[in-house]
Structure 1
Amino acid sequence: MNINFEGKRILVTGAGQGIGKEIALRLSKYKGQVFALSKTKQNLDNLVAIDPKIQPICVDLRDWNTTRKVVQSILPIDLLVNNAAVACLTPFLDATPNEFDLTFDVNVKAAFNVSQIVVKNMIERKCSGSIVNISSQAGQVALKDHAVYCMSKAALDMLTKTMALEVGPHNIRINSVGPTVVMTEMGKLGWSDSQKAQSMINKIPLGRFADVDEVVDPVVYLLSDRSSMINGACLPIDGGFLAT
């Protein structure tokens, strides 16, 4: 399948490392003008060293007003990937207000904020567009010690659906992908213990965790015109985990 994003301006949040970094690199490889957003300048410097065509944006997404100003300064944006996320893996009884606020600020509120700016501009320009939110299988099923994280990803999936309902008439598509564990730095936080990891793998019919490229490929597809009739979908990338 030949996919080309030439002439498209694409914003990827949380692009400094992990899945977001690989999404940014792939979209640039497919000739999109990529704006990579991260709060960590060193990560952005490392990314631009790999691909100097990528435009770095250093901002803390928890800062609502500064984020709005920065995103507005790079408009128009044609395609958006809300990838930025944090994981505070604490048992329900021990979770703190700070962990709750941090998780929802980054995983939900930031996606809401950035999408609001981008979509309003799309509508003003009378242009079609596509947004992909990076969710998780944790948005669909409870995982031990993931109470706050699971709630945030469930909220992101519902944001995906409500946005799809409201902005679909403007030919703007909103979808999410829900990967199983991917052994990025974030993945290692919860699953570096081999016994715990094996207990999860045993529940995945394909018998393994996902590779980063296996998340990037569906994101690219959902951003592209090849998925022009897909809107409001929450696509599992979980090797069949949710089917069990």
Structure 2
Amino acid sequence: MEFEGKSVIVTGAGKGIGRVVSRVMARRGASIIGMSLTQEEMAGLTDETGARCIAADFSDTDKVRAAMKEAGTADYLVNCAGINVLESVLDMTDRGVDAVLNINLRAPIVVAQEFARARVAAGGGGAIVNISSIAGHRGFAEHVAYAASKAGLEGATRVMAKELGQHGIRVVALAPTITMTELAADAWSDPVKSEPMMVRHPVQRFAEPEDVARAVAMLLSDDAGMVTGSVLAVDGGFLAV
């Protein structure tokens, strides 16, 4: 119960990594403020974690700011919300690029800004974890907008760490490899597609959402008190070889 008495805002809490982060943090004592596009996406989250759920359209800055105002001051923030639109450089569309960059890059920056303003007003302290991806470090086909959004988020993380450190706020990014959410399990179930990627992981497996969530908890904990401005790869060694 290392986070007992602490609260955490988790964006993208309705599914995937965000939902599992909510569960792990709740098991460790934190109060959860979950955000997702609709209340329907977060169905059952309150029963699972005791979360207070807030619907937020991450493509709309005004709605994001309103949702953060409703959330109020929290001790921690985990920016999990994200999308991908698979388009090649030659075929990419303005609509696809705008959608990915708005949700994956602009929204987490705005969420972090509102979180940090509230923390500073409360006297400082706290921590932010931004969920990035190994796609921000390696070039994957049809991921041009996604890669740009994640590389940009890591750049923003470093600036946030520099500027917010004086207020006692740590900011780190976490870059998972392929993580076997329900969506990813469907996408990578074909061995013809998955095996060439799998062999590039020294641990010989993809990540599970629980792997990522536990790493998030570690970065939020006091054990990581000197960790800020860093990018932690939770990738089974993919980027090392």
TM class by smaller structure: over 0.9
Task: Please report the TM-score for the alignment, with normalisation by the length of structure 2.
Answer: 0.96
Tell me the residue number matched to 2:62.
65
CA contact (8 A) 2:55 2:67 kept: no
Q: Secondary structure at the match of 1:40?
A: coil
**Which residue is 1:241 aligned to?**
238
How far, CA to CA, are the matches of 2:183 and 2:93 in structure 1? 19
> What is the deviation of 1:135?
0.6
Mapped partners of 2:35, 2:158: distance in 1? 24
Question: Kindly tell me: are residues 141 and 189 of structure 1, through their superposed partners in 2, closer, same or farther at Cα, counting changes over 3 Å?
Answer: farther
CA contact (8 A) 2:3 2:30 kept: yes
1:121-151, Cα deviation, whole Å (9 max, x unpaired):
1112222010000111111111122111111
Partner of 2:34: 36
Q: Does 2:127 correspond to 1:130?
A: yes
Which residue number in structure 2 is paired with residue 207 of structure 1?
204
Q: Secondary structure at the match of 1:166?
A: helix
Kindly indicate whether the alpha-carbon contact (under 8 Å) linking 2:82 and 2:103 is maintained by their aligned counterparts in 1.
yes
* 1:47 matches 2:45: yes
Q: How does 1:149-228 map to 2 (within 5 A)?
A: 149-188=146-185, 190-228=187-225
| Residues 147, 192 of structure 1: alpha-carbon distance in 2 compared, 3 angstrom cutoff | farther
Q: Choose the corresponding residue for 1:19, options 17, 26, 29.
A: 17
C-alpha distance in structure 2 between counterparts of 1:182 and 1:74, whole Å: 28
The alignment-based identity, stated in percent, is 35
Q: Kindly indicate whether the alpha-carbon contact (under 8 Å) linking 1:82 and 1:133 is maintained by their aligned counterparts in 2.
A: yes
Mapped partners of 1:69, 1:28: distance in 2: 24
Q: What is the one-letter code of the residue matched to 2:20?
A: E
Contact 1:62–1:110 under 8 Å retained in 2: yes
Q: Which residue identity lines up with residue 24 of structure 1 in the other structure?
A: S
In structure 2, the gaps of 5 or more residues are none
C-alpha contact (below 8 Å) 2:54/2:71 kept by paired residues? no
* Distance in 2 of aligned mates of 1:233 and 1:186: 28
State the one-letter code of the partner of 2:136: G
Q: Which amino acid aligns with 1:27?
A: M
| Stretch of structure 1 that moved more, 64-73 or 149-158 | 64-73
Aligned length: 241
**Is the contact made by 1:87 and 1:186 (CA closer than 8 Å) also made in structure 2?**
no
Q: What's the RMSD between the two structures over aligned residues?
A: 1.4
Partners of 1:135 and 1:153 within 8 A in 2: yes
Amino acid at match of 1:230: V
Give how far 1:33 is off. 1.2
Residue 86 (str. 1) matches residue 83 (str. 2): yes
Post-superposition shift, 1:208? Answer: 1.1
Output one character per residue of 1:42-75: Cα deviation in whole Å (capped at 9) or x when no partner.
Answer: 2212322323x11111121112112212211221
* Compared CA separation, residues 49 and 125, structure 1 to 2 (3 A): closer
Where does residue 142 of structure 1 map in the other structure?
A: 139
Q: Which runs of 5+ in 1 are unaligned?
A: none
Structure 1, 77-86 or 207-216: larger mean CA deviation: 207-216
